[in-house]
Amino acid sequence: MNRPDAPPLAAAADNAQGALFAQSASGCAFANLPASFYTHVAPRPLTAPWLAHANPVVAQWLGLDAAALQSPEFLALCAGSGRLPGVEPLASVYSGHQFGVWAGQLGDGRAHLLGDIQGPQGRWEIQLKGSGRTPYSRMGDGWAVLRSSVREYLASQAMSGLGIPTTHALALVASADPVIRETPETAAVVTRVAPSFIRFGHFEHWARSATEQAALLDHVIAQGFQDCRVGPGDRPDRPATACQLLDEVTRRTARLMAQWQLAGFCHGVMNTDNMSILGLTLDYGPYGFMDAFQANHICNHSDTLGRYAWNAQPAVAQWNLTRLAESLMVLGCSVPDLEAALAPFESTFLQAYHAGLARKFGLSDWRPEDAGLGDAWWALLHAQRADFTLAFRRLADVDTDAQSWLDLFTDAQAAQQWLDRYRTRRAQDPHPQAGRQAAMNRVNPLYVLRNHLAQQAIEAAQQGDASGIDHLMDLLQDPFTERPDCAQYARPPAPDIPVVAVSCSS
Residues 92-111 as b/e (b if ≥16 CB within 10 A, e otherwise) read bbbbbbbbeeebeebbbbbb
Tens digits of residue pLDDT in 1-18: 444 444 444 444 444 455
Domain limit, last residue, from 145, 163, 198: 198
- What is the number of domains present in the chain? 3
- For position 499, what pLDDT does the model report? 76
467-477 vs 146-161: helix crossing angle, rounded to 10: 20
Q: Is-catalytic flag, 291? A: no
> For residue 92, what is the enclosing H or E element?
strand 90-92
Is residue 347 domain-resident? yes
Query: Are 163 and 28 part of one and the same domain?
Result: yes
Query: Are 290 and 395 part of one and the same domain?
Result: no
Query: Are 340 and 370 part of one and the same domain?
Result: no
Q: Could you say which of 273, 283, 303, 337 is catalytic?
A: 273
Query: Are 78 and 160 part of one and the same domain?
Result: yes
Domain limit, last residue, from 324, 354, 384: 354
Is residue 396 domain-resident? yes
- How far is the first Cα of the chain from the last one, in angstroms, to the nearest whole number? 24
Tens digits of residue pLDDT in 191-214: 999 999 999 999 999 999 999 999
- Using an 8 Å Cβ cutoff, are 216 and 95 in contact? no
Query: Are 59 and 175 part of one and the same domain?
Result: yes
Q: For residue 320, what are the domain limits?
A: 201-354
Is residue 496 domain-resident? no
Q: What is the largest CA-CA distance in the chain?
A: 69
Is residue 467 domain-resident? no
Query: Are 256 and 398 part of one and the same domain?
Result: no
Residue 94's φ and ψ, nearest 5 degrees, are -155, 175
- For position 432, what pLDDT does the model report? 79
Is residue 493 domain-resident? no
Is residue 384 domain-resident? yes
Q: How large is the average pLDDT for residues 403-413?
A: 97
Confidence of residue 505 (pLDDT cuts 50, 70, 90): low
Query: Are 41 and 184 part of one and the same domain?
Result: yes
Distance separating alpha carbons of residues 326 and 99, to the nearest angstrom = 18
Residue ranges with strand state E in 130-253? 144-145, 168-180, 184-194
Query: Are 313 and 415 part of one and the same domain?
Result: no
Domain limit, last residue, from 354, 382, 399: 354
- Using an 8 Å Cβ cutoff, are 15 and 8 in contact? no
Is residue 468 domain-resident? no
Query: Are 163 and 34 part of one and the same domain?
Result: yes
| Percent of the chain predicted with pLDDT > 90 | 89
Tens digits of residue pLDDT in 354-406: 999 999 999 999 999 999 999 999 999 999 999 999 999 999 999 999 999 99
Tens digits of residue pLDDT in 77-99: 999 999 999 999 999 999 999 99
Query: Are 28 and 164 part of one and the same domain?
Result: yes
Q: How large is the average pLDDT for residues 107-118?
A: 97
Whole-structure pTM over 0.85, yes or no? yes
Q: How large is the average pLDDT for residues 425-446?
A: 92
Amino acid at 392: F
Q: What is the DSSP letter of 384?
A: H
